[in-house]
């Protein structure tokens, strides 16, 4: 493969930007083009410009607005990792020798819409049945966090401290980043005073709604930074289609390929930009990437291991939390941040290798990219490079048609910011029914909800509802079952010997 | 570059399909996977599944539904050429050596929406100002056809015969294609009896609204068919941003690159599948591809040169007109059709090289692909391969802010099927104002409209209106101008020598 290098980079000030998406993209592009003014093609990442802005054909629009009419231009989309997907395609375009210099662009314009409109558009990337129950991205992220807490036997306050540590670290880092949307550190008190979006996640656990764009030029001409590894993986769309809730297999697949290609192991990475759309995602991802053991990512943050001046800085730019999260842009903005940091210095340190990880949807379409300075010393101790992942055929999820009438809660959340048509607070639970199938169900708010609890299930108008079994209900239910069995036996006895009518 | 070959292909029956988009895509995919069951990645072309179906994250969805969870999957979009764009990216992915086998998929689901909703979504790919005037894709295509008529001095009935020849040829070809939406030839009388959508285009000049999907597998393992050339180009989004109206420079750029890569010239192509979303596009494209001289494409159809059994069959599959046009799918469906024809026989003939051409938006983002049998004899007479295109910076279009009050019609149409909020019939004209700027303007229906006519312009609420100058108006206008000049002179005389107040 032709080696691929990074030339010019560009990024707009993230936040509320009154300009049209195309103008925002062009500003970032022009910054990157300053260094390498001639490019062969444009590869653009954007999640949903059609619905966010009402305009389609974004690739042609940007080519024309940049004054590059004629140039090949296409758009790549993988939900919220679209920026990383554009990088992947552009990388392959150069690695093939088809193009020499490609301008990679990514952006999104979101702040001009109401929060409810934005939430609806963002929710289109999640599973339809779960969406119909009222699930949103924060709700599903919250259910993952709750499951993480239970799996690794963390008390509520211990998990809260871990999430708070991420929610404090990233804005503190953002305060050093002039392009970040939020450049102000927050206190533990501010965090604890912020409202729940979906328990256990508060407002400060979620990345903001942002406008912004990032740009970079990939080239086959050697520069100071090389794209040394890149990988992509997918995972189940729905929560109920998963075997594992506290890890994203899509990240593991992507990381295995990226490390394999770069010929290095996680220990050779100096710092990383990670998709912290929700604070638990940062913790889980540091585990998926092999930086920490499963269940140890939260402790690592509390111990300062991922702090700006720690041994493995995670999101030194502020991450999605503080830099902002224009969905389609984030995957590329991370790469711009890493490139800048490799070229400069970070708190007196000179880094050799940085990694980015981007998440599409609910950890459904993820990318890992490894960048290295071309003067980085070769790695000799990578005795056991990660093996390339093997894709296995997923088992089919039983259809929702017949829902059995009892089940057990696998994870849950109380959603306080609900989508249109759902009144808050809304309890959502992932329930495993008696036949072993997982389903998303809606219930009443109940402060007593916990994982492992038994529930009754009912399906009304295609939406599954649950109620927690009380002790009295359990006894009533047992009696009803006995009665039913007795009646059935009596009926069978009475009908025995009769001819069918 | 690693050579790239075509393995298995698949295509659904195009037309009205009651299944969900993901299911349609999976049917095509499973056909293609029969031959090569193991693939490294999915590259999916779709124009706007979010708005057509309400669901995003299509790449991850399809990967999961196919039981290939874990596999890298991404979606490419370039408006209505998305299927060809997916092929381009997948080609680069294999040519780079990064993947060995890629499943390329493309599809769209459209028929479940009302025509007005579909028209609105399709119109998002055209220029905003032109859209605000009421322009639709058929309207703009019609204006191109009218300009073609004027440029090549064709009578109205001569152009009508040419368009009718395309509108008859493609359904006749479609009658041999069991997967085509329309499999019935039409008579000249049927054509002439069909209603105008936008003069001079009738219903039978426009491709239908369709559901469908196509699939193929690209591989680095030699097969019987090789992807020997591929190219992409862009052009101005708007009609008013163009130097030329009767040709798509984006096709010329794409073709130059594809022929250059394949090392052949247009004369070496045996047959082609061309983006005939509107009949004039087929005629123009055969000229842009170098098959016929500018202005001679229409005659070629009338002379039977592009007929099924002619020297250069164009759209032997029925084209978009008869096969149907699920927008994101068409660019890939063409490649499936060409591959099948290269592998089989066509009316007793064995073809060696086929070409596809796909159009995104109003000729804004176009692709050309050349496929060849691996046993095709080498070309020795390609003395002068087409040079690679040079991209020049486009000149900036003056902003619409100040519109002068007079202009000349460059082209026009009477739109009979209007978008929501516009009453038919609606006259639309591309007008060059006194300062040389082009603008789209709305007028009253007028059977006397013609290119070169002088008009008055007025801008109301951001929409530009035109009225044709009558003889009386011209005289009145001349007098008003004289009067204004006389008043100005009198004012200047009277104020001369006074100090400014």
- Is B499 a residue whose pLDDT tops 70? no
What are the residues whose beta carbons fall under 8 Å from the beta carbon of B458, sequence distance 6 or more? B405, B464, B465, B466
- Is B218 a residue whose pLDDT tops 90? yes
Mean pLDDT of B327-354: 93
Return d(Cα A414, Cα A423) in angstroms, integer: 12
DSSP codes of every residue in B438-487: EEEEEE---TT--TT-EEEEEEETTEEEEEEPPHHHHHHHHHHHHHHHHH
DSSP codes of every residue in B484-497: HHHHHHHHHHHHTT
- Is B74 a residue whose pLDDT tops 90? yes
Is B140 an interface residue toward A (CB < 8 Å)?
no
The token pair at A102 is 């490609």
The residues with which A369 forms a beta bridge, in sequence order, are A230, A356
Chain segment B149-158, per-residue pLDDT in tens: 999 999 999 9
Mean pLDDT of A324-333: 98
What pLDDT score does B389 carry? Answer: 60
Chain segment B364-403, per-residue pLDDT in tens: 999 999 999 999 998 876 555 556 665 554 455 545 556 7
On whether the CB atoms of residues A352 and A249 are closer than 8 A, the answer is no
Indicate yes or no: CB of A60 within 8 angstroms of CB of B128.
no
Strands A454-460, B5-11: parallel, antiparallel or unpaired by DSSP? unpaired
Indicate yes or no: CB of A89 within 8 angstroms of CB of B85.
no
Three-state SS annotation for B387-407: CCCCCCCCCCCCCCCCCCCEE
Is B170 an interface residue toward A (CB < 8 Å)?
no
| Distance (Å) of CA A457 to CA A239, A396, B79 | 18, 22, 44
What are the residues whose beta carbons fall under 8 Å from the beta carbon of B39, sequence distance 6 or more? B33, B68, B71, B101, B102, B103, B217
The residue that leads in pLDDT, A391 or B181, is B181
What pLDDT score does B501 carry? Answer: 45
Chain segment A363-414, per-residue pLDDT in tens: 999 999 999 999 999 887 655 555 666 555 445 554 555 677 899 999 999 9
Which residue among A50, A73, A77 sits closest to B365, beta carbon to beta carbon? A73
DSSP strands (E only) in B46-190: 73-77, 101-108
DSSP strands (E only) in A334-379: 353-358, 365-373
Tell me what percent of the residues of chain A surpass a pLDDT of 90: 79
- Looking at A449-458, B11-20, B275-284, which range is the least confident one? A449-458
- Is B13 a residue whose pLDDT tops 70? yes
Mean pLDDT of B184-201: 97
Return d(Cα A312, Cα A328) in angstroms, integer: 26
The helix or strand, by DSSP H or E, that contains position B14, with its residue range, turns out to be none
Using a CB-CB cut-off of 8 Å, the residues of chain A touching B68 are 234, 391, 393-394
Q: For residue B78, which of B57, B43, B47 has the smallest C-alpha distance?
A: B47
- Is A196 a residue whose pLDDT tops 60? yes
- Find the closest chain B residue to A38 by CA distance: B391
pLDDT band at B304; cut points 50, 70, 90: very high
The residues with which B366 forms a beta bridge, in sequence order, are B233
C-alpha gyration radius of chain A: 25
- Is A478 a residue whose pLDDT tops 90? no
Using a CB-CB cut-off of 8 Å, the residues of chain A touching B392 are 70
DSSP one-letter code for A69: T
Using a CB-CB cut-off of 8 Å, the residues of chain B touching A41 are 232
> CA B240, B244, B247 angle in degrees (round to 5)?
120
Return d(Cα B426, Cα A121) in angstroms, integer: 34
Provide the mean pLDDT of chain B: 92
- Is A471 a residue whose pLDDT tops 90? no
DSSP one-letter code for B244: -
Provide the mean pLDDT of chain A: 92
Residue A492: CB atoms within 10 Å: 9
Indicate yes or no: CB of B365 within 8 angstroms of CB of A250.
no
Four-residue CA torsion sign, B400, B406, B412, B414: positive
Q: For residue A120, which of A57, A56, A55, A51 has the smallest C-alpha distance?
A: A51
Strands B353-358, B271-274: parallel, antiparallel or unpaired by DSSP? parallel
Return d(Cα A432, Cα A436) in angstroms, integer: 6
What's the gap between Cα A487 and its chain centre?
53
Q: For residue B360, which of B126, B51, B78 has the smallest C-alpha distance?
A: B78
Using a CB-CB cut-off of 8 Å, the residues of chain B touching A96 are 1-2, 91-97
On whether the CB atoms of residues B285 and B294 are closer than 8 A, the answer is no
Using a CB-CB cut-off of 8 Å, the residues of chain B touching A98 are 1, 91-92, 95
What pLDDT score does A402 carry? Answer: 66
On whether the CB atoms of residues B187 and B3 are closer than 8 A, the answer is no
Four-residue CA torsion sign, A358, A362, A365, A368: positive
pTM as predicted? 0.92
Which residue among B48, B68, B77 sits closest to A391, beta carbon to beta carbon? B68
Return d(Cα B360, Cα B243) in angstroms, integer: 19
Residue A375: CB atoms within 10 Å: 8
The residues with which B415 forms a beta bridge, in sequence order, are B198, B426
Chain segment B440-496, per-residue pLDDT in tens: 999 977 778 999 999 999 888 878 999 988 767 777 777 777 777 778 777 777 766
Indicate yes or no: CB of B78 within 8 angstroms of CB of A74.
yes
What pLDDT score does B485 carry? Answer: 76
- Is B410 a residue whose pLDDT tops 90? yes
What's the gap between Cα B394 and its chain centre?
21
- Is B342 a residue whose pLDDT tops 60? yes
Return d(Cα B178, Cα A67) in angstroms, integer: 44
Chain segment A82-130, per-residue pLDDT in tens: 999 999 999 999 999 999 999 999 999 999 999 889 999 999 999 998 9
Is B392 an interface residue toward A (CB < 8 Å)?
yes
- Is B80 a residue whose pLDDT tops 80? yes
Strands A5-11, B463-468: parallel, antiparallel or unpaired by DSSP? unpaired
Chain segment A416-455, per-residue pLDDT in tens: 999 988 999 999 999 999 999 999 999 977 778 999 999 9
SS3 A304: coil
The token pair at A201 is 């996640």
Is A394 an interface residue toward B (CB < 8 Å)?
yes
What pLDDT score does A384 carry? Answer: 58
What pLDDT score does B380 carry? Answer: 75
First and final CA of chain B: distance in angstroms? 76
Half-sphere exposure of B222 (CA within 13 A, CB side): 3
φ, ψ dihedrals at A461, nearest 5°: 50, 40
- Whether a cis peptide bond, with omega within 30° of 0, leads into B287 is no
Q: What is the ipTM of this complex?
A: 0.91
Indicate yes or no: CB of B76 within 8 angstroms of CB of A79.
no
Return d(Cα A409, Cα B117) in angstroms, integer: 41
What pLDDT score does B246 carry? Answer: 96
Mean pLDDT of B226-255: 95
What pLDDT score does A228 carry? Answer: 97
| Distance (Å) of CA B44 to CA A276, B26, B129, B214, B441 | 27, 11, 31, 10, 38
Four-residue CA torsion sign, B107, B112, B113, B115: positive
DSSP one-letter code for A387: P
Residue A498: CB atoms within 10 Å: 7
Indicate yes or no: CB of B64 within 8 angstroms of CB of A237.
yes
Which residue among A54, A73, A79 sits closest to B56, beta carbon to beta carbon? A79
The residues with which A454 forms a beta bridge, in sequence order, are A408
- Tally of residues, chain B: 501
Tell me what percent of the residues of chain B surpass a pLDDT of 70: 94
- Find the closest chain B residue to A72 by CA distance: B233
């Amino acid at each position: 493969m032709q080696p691929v290098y990074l030339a010019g980079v560009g990024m707009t000030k993230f936040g509320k930007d009154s300009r049209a998406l195309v103008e925002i993209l062009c500003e970032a592009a022009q910054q990157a083009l300053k260094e390498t003014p001639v490019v062969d093609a444009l590869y653009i990442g954007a999640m949903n410009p059609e619905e966010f802005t009402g305009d389609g054909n974004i690739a042609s629009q940007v080519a024309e607005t940049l004054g590059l009419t004629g140039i090949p231009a296409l758009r790549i989309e993988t939900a919220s990792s679209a920026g990383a997907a554009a990088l992947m395609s552009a990388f392959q375009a150069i690695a093939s020798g088809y193009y020499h210099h490609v301008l990679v662009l990514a952006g999104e314009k979101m702040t001009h819409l109401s929060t409810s409109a934005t939430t609806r558009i963002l929710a289109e990337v999640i599973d339809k049945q779960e969406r119909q129950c009222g699930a949103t991205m924060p709700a599903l992220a919250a259910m993952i966090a709750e499951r993480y807490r239970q799996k690794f036997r963390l008390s509520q306050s211990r998990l809260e401290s871990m999430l708070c540590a991420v929610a404090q670290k990233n804005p503190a880092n953002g305060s050093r980043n002039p392009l970040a949307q939020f450049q102000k550190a927050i206190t533990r008190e501010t965090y604890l005073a912020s409202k729940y979006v979906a328990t256990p996640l508060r407002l400060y656990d979620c990345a903001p709604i942002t406008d912004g764009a990032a740009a970079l030029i990939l080239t086959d001409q050697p520069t100071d930074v090389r794209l040394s590894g890149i990988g992509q993986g997918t995972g189940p769309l729905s929560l109920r289609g998963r075997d594992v809730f506290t890890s994203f297999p899509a990240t593991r697949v992507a990381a295995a390929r990226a490390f394999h290609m770069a010929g290095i192991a996680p220990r050779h990475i100096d710092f990383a930009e990670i998709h912290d759309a929700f604070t638990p995602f940062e913790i889980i991802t540091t585990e998926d990437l092999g930086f920490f053991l499963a269940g140890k990512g939260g402790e690592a943050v509390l111990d300062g291991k991922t702090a700006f001046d720690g041994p493995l800085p995670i999101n030194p730019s502020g991450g999605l939390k503080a830099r902002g999260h224009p969905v389609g842009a984030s995957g590329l903005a991370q790469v711009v941040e890493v490139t800048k940091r490799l070229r400069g210095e970070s708190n007196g340190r000179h880094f050799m290798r940085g990694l980015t990880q981007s998440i599409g949807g609910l950890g459904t379409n993820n990318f890992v990219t490894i960048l290295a300075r071309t003067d980085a010393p070769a790695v000799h101790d990578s005795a056991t490079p990660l093996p390339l992942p093997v894709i296995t055929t997923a088992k089919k999820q039983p259809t929702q048609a017949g829902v059995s009438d009892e089940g057990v809660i696998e994870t849950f959340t109380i959603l306080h910011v609900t989508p249109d048509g759902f009144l808050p607070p809304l309890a959502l639970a992932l329930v495993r029914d008696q036949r072993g199938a997982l389903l998303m169900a809606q219930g009443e708010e109940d402060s007593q909800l916990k994982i492992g609890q038994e529930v009754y299930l009912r399906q009304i108008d295609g939406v599954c509802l649950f109620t927690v079994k009380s002790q009295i209900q359990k006894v009533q239910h047992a009696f009803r079952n006995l009665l039913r069995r007795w009646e059935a036996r009596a009926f069978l006895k009475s009908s025995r010997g009769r001819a069918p009518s």
